[in-house]
Structure 1
Amino acid sequence: MNNSVLYLLTVLIWGSTWIAINYQLGDVAHEASIAYRFGLAAAVLFIYCWLKKLPLTMNKQQHLSLILFGMALFGFNYFLLYQAQENINSALACIGFSTLLLFNIINARIWYKTPITSQVVLGGSLGLIGIVILFWPEVKSLSLTDATLYGLILCLIGTLSASMGNMISIRNQKAKMPVVQSNAWGMLYGTIFMIFMVIVQGKTFTFEWTTPYISSLLFLSIFGSVIAFGCYLSLMTKIGPHKTSYANILFPAVAVAISTVVEGFAWNNYTIFGFLAIMVGNFVVLAKPRAAKKAIEQENSLAKSKLTNEKVIAS
């Protein structure tokens, strides 16, 4: 698949996983649900490799790298994000995780000396501003308690863990380690880590034998993990961590669009201008420099026109 298809699949799938995650929240421990998700995903990938006769043999050094990769991206990351959402609402968690773009820009510079272009910084900033605008009604009602601060810190540490996993994935691919087999081993090690977390915390491995829980688990495992992570991590090497990471800012926009159809979400000015900033930021990050500059000028013109109209109405 070309880069555009990989990017589109990543955004659409991960933008729709919020529905499935809603059905995962219940009596089953979060850590257990995460273990089920990536355990099933790993099994699917190993079976795929066996059917396609893809070599699964790795040396000790590669396995060590894959252990770190799996723990960072498929274990510790999700563990902290779930813990964070017990203290903060989904809007703030979404904004916190959107900083993955910034973490990846900084880490790519540290790890691989990747230059930080003004175009990426500008586009990313527009996207982050768009996320804040999109969820501003929920954000402004937040109470800055110790629990909120604690949850936000957990969210940012989890996002940093995801970024570290991204960097390890790039290093693995640069070392000619295949994406599919690497993901299979990484998800297996992430599953083992989550099983360990369940045991250490004294929690139990319960399961909900209901259609919503099982169907959402299958969706998250097959589409949200096997397919989406395969597309995303392939893009990391093809177009770089900066541009790929912008997909994380588009996810909430897709989620809101789906909510409009499924749940009758009502749009307002925050929704419209948040969407506009996110989409322009996406175009700026991915487009050629001249086209990006033109997009920014158009957005500024639209914003000024909106402000002028509001002043006329007020007067």
Structure 2
Amino acid sequence: MNTSETPGMLSWRVIVPFMLTGTIWGSTWFVITGQIDGVPAAWSVFYRFALATPGMFLLALVMKRSLKLDGPGHMLAVVVGVLQFCGNFMFVYHSELHLTSGIVAVFFALLMVPNAIFARIFIGERMQAGFMLGSAVAIAGVAMLLVHEARTSTLGGDVLLGVALCLGGLLSASVANVVQANEVGRRIAMVSLLAWAMLYGLVADLIFALVTVGPPPLPTGAMYWMGTAYLALIGSIVTFPLHYNLVREIGAGRTAYNAIVTVVVAMLLSTLFEDYRWTPLAMAGMALALGGMVLALRSRRTRSVKVGQATTMRPEPE
């Protein structure tokens, strides 16, 4: 990247999409709470991607990306789809039955940690000491937030089960992120891979919902379907082009800082609408979590562009 042509962070063509993507992704965690209120979480995941999948294929066509994949490409799309758009989202939606949505958002901001570990194991990416220190500080902060969550138990759910579900979602998303960065994934346009992965994930969502819940319910509330449309279209289809343009403009490393915006927005919404109560423990935990994330992100290797892009493949999360 030619740094002389790289726009500054305060340039309008950077700051607007930067804040917009962070704000949208921060809001999606709270919107999910309306999708699991009286409707089985598994079917809400299915409805979300039943709407998002055609949109992603259309986006690929608009961006003039080839949708033709060979055998290994389809196999990769199956793996990513099952892990990311079924396993990850099923874990996330069910975790929000037990944990405040903002806490789940903070938890998933740690996605960079297993990403880095798996990237080190499978594709030889090195981890810097600053990254490991920052990650440890962030994990300590999240642990304090979880202790606070267990003490207050705002939702009256099983906090330990919520944590276990978050871990399952985190690992599913991380494995999906790392495997798509292999040689097969590198030669496929990201939007094309996501379109096919969503389709395969949608099939897995349907099977999982039918087996675990039974016949699909048909929600009648307008707010439910407005939320579904927001998550599918705004939270996925709109934000992906904005995010990848930012990666091209300022690099994956600096783009990753919008995770901070995401966490702040998610916690603000939890405070306003989920009766999240701030205590000295919670404030200290949030300070450590955000400070640790900043320290870890500052230490990321700028050459790890592919894995950096892959970290956006979360429940908007990409």
Whether the 8 Å CA contact 1:179–1:233 is kept in 2: the answer is no
Change beyond 3 A, Cα 1:30–1:202: closer
Q: How high is the sequence identity, in percent, across the aligned residues?
A: 27
Following superposition of structure 1 onto structure 2, how do residues 207-286 of structure 1 map, counting pairs within 5 Å? Answer: 207-228=218-239, 239=252, 251-260=262-271, 267-286=278-297
* Greater Cα radius of gyration, structure 1 or 2: 1
Change beyond 3 A, Cα 1:62–1:50: same
Aligned to 1:63: 74
Whether the 8 Å CA contact 2:42–2:213 is kept in 1: the answer is no
Letter of the structure 1 residue corresponding to residue 42 of structure 2:
E
Aligned to 2:310: none
Whether the 8 Å CA contact 1:101–1:246 is kept in 2: the answer is no
* Superposed displacement of residue 135, structure 1: 4.8
**2:89 aligned residue (78, 81, 84):** 78
Aligned to 1:118: 129
Aligned length: 283
Change beyond 3 A, Cα 1:100–1:50: closer
Q: Provide Cα deviations, 1:67-100, integer angstroms capped at 9, x if missing partner.
A: 1011111111122333445566657755654543
**In the aligned structure 2, how far is the partner of 1:278 from the partner of 1:150?**
21
**In the aligned structure 2, how far is the partner of 1:87 from the partner of 1:171?**
35
**In the aligned structure 1, how far is the partner of 2:161 from the partner of 2:269?**
30
Equivalent residue of 2:67, what SS?
A: coil
* Superposed displacement of residue 227, structure 1: 3.8
Equivalent residue of 1:58, what SS?
A: coil
Letter of the structure 2 residue corresponding to residue 239 of structure 1:
A
Equivalent residue of 2:181, what SS?
A: helix
**In the aligned structure 1, how far is the partner of 2:96 from the partner of 2:273?**
23
* Superposed displacement of residue 21, structure 1: 0.8
Q: TM-score, normalised by structure 1?
A: 0.74
Equivalent residue of 2:182, what SS?
A: helix
| Farther off after superposition, 273-282 or 195-204 | 273-282
Change beyond 3 A, Cα 1:119–1:134: same
**1:46 aligned residue (47, 53, 57):** 57
**In the aligned structure 1, how far is the partner of 2:174 from the partner of 2:112?**
8
Aligned to 2:305: none
Change beyond 3 A, Cα 1:218–1:192: same
Change beyond 3 A, Cα 1:32–1:25: same
Whether the 8 Å CA contact 1:100–1:245 is kept in 2: the answer is no
**In the aligned structure 2, how far is the partner of 1:94 from the partner of 1:26?**
18
